[in-house]
Amino acid sequence: MSWSADSTTLENGTLRERVVERVHSSGARVAFCHKTGYLRTYACFATNFGSIDDRYRIGGGSEVVLPDGVAHFLEHKMFEGVNEDAFQEFSRLGASANAFTGFNGTSYLFSCTDRFYECLDHLVRFVQEPHFTAENVEKEKGIIGQEIRMYEDMPGWRVYFNLLEGMYQSHPVSKDIAGTEETISGITAPLLDRCWEAFYHPSNMILFAVGDQSEDEFFDHADRLLSEKDLGPAPDIEKITTAENLDVAKSRVEQSMQVGRSKLLFGWKDVHPGLNGPDLVRKELVTDLVLECVFGQSGALFEKLQEANLVDDSFGGGYMIYGDVGHSAIGGDVVDPEKVVEVIKSELPGVLSQGIAEEDIDRQRRAATGQLLKSFNSLENIAGSYCSSRFMGADPFEVVDLLSKIEPSEVVDRLQEHVQPERLVSSVITPA
């Protein structure tokens, strides 16, 4: 056996979920969640390398600065093998495959109803066998350029990234995950090779599966599979973060597009360097309770906006947290974005002075608990939650218990800390 330590079990009685995880001698974290009675099995191979990882150094060496969009570009190129596209083999095996790049990581995944271990072999092997050439990299620039232009024409995408552009002065979270046509023009095959060697080492990756398979058989197979390729010792990577303060770049960003109704997003940013693990998860949960109590569709503020015919059922929001920064984003399709922001700003002083009633907090906590319990019926959600949580140093299955332990005073304090009228940023898409 090639496991470097005894197995660890993450178990939660409330969720009735159990995950066994081990660290392979290659450095990879390997984990399995058994779900009795499920016909489909879901697996992912994820790396802790996303769009915000734009600067790093290895072994105390010189700083490496990456062009915007390189993590997403690398994801695209990983599917191109020497002889064929990796999707073709998944299709022959009857599996549904995909990949995505986020701010914090990149995941390669598949789901299938049979031939699971053949699919798992293919997943791990193509991710560990990159094929970058000058020709195929240049060809990909045209393909990704089309994707970038497509997203530039999507109002929902633009209103969100315009909001981040207004919030952040220099942090890479404000930049489009795919980069721009200008930034990807500088990506080369040697650059992709260096990024793959740095961030696709098994020590920076998680192999996770969930379904009705044999636990022992999965770990035996994963052991043999990860032992096939010796990628050497783990590189000593230091990710270099970009300092950000609470001052916003712009309080308002507006863009005209072909839309029937205006789109509005507003919110606030947070800066919390050094926060990690359960503390990050708890902050996200507390802030989501604040936003739902104040701006949710069961609250007085939404009712006032709806009675004035300013918003509809598309209005809502949430809180996103990415390591050293985080932000809220609230809004939807609106008739008059200026009037909505005006009402919000006029109502906030009263909300801040009154605080949030304990019964409202308890009601929203119950609703959030129900949504979380429901979400863990999804194999895809379990895999996504597991990988993102482990990369943050948290336990994905303690989220319901953390939510139950939040005190009402924490929610009220968080309201005062986060919802500051003078730091509000708004993003508007208006009909062209």
Measured CA to CA, the distance from residue 256 to residue 263 in angstroms comes to: 10
Token pair in block for residue 69: 């969009």
∠ CA 327-245-399, rounded to 5°: 35
Contacts of 49 (CB under 8 A, 6+ apart): 71, 74, 105, 106, 195, 199, 200, 204
Q: For the purposes of burial, counting CB atoms within 10 Å of the CB of 375, is it exposed (0-12), middle (13-18) or buried (19 or more)?
A: middle
- Contact between 265 and 394 under an 8 Å Cβ cutoff? The reply is no
Cβ(387)–Cβ(44) under 8 Å? yes
Helix (H, G, I), strand (E, B) or coil at 379: helix
Cα 79 from Cα 77, distance rounded (Å): 5
For residue 239, give the nearest of 83, 57, 62, 4 by alpha carbon: 57
Helix (H) or strand (E) holding 173: none
Name the residue with tokens 């998860």.
281
DSSP line for 132-164: --HHHHHHHHHHHHHHHHHHHT-HHHHHHHHHH
What span, in angstroms and rounded, lies between the C-alpha atoms of 3 and 1?
6
Helix (H) or strand (E) holding 285: helix 278-295
Q: Residue 249: how many CB atoms within 10 A of its CB?
A: 17
Tracing tokens 């739902």 back to the chain, one arrives at 292
The terminus-to-terminus CA distance of the chain in angstroms comes to: 63
Distance between CA atoms of 127 and 316, rounded to whole angstroms? Answer: 37
Is 165 catalytic? The answer is no
- Alpha-carbon distance of 46 to 106, in angstroms, equals 6
What are the DSSP E strand ranges found in 342-415? Answer: none
Catalytic residue among 11, 21, 63, 75: 75
Q: Which residues contact 83 (CB under 8 A, 6 or more apart)?
A: none
Residue 316, phi then psi, degrees to nearest 5 = 180, -175
Amino acid at 77: K
> Known catalytic residues?
75
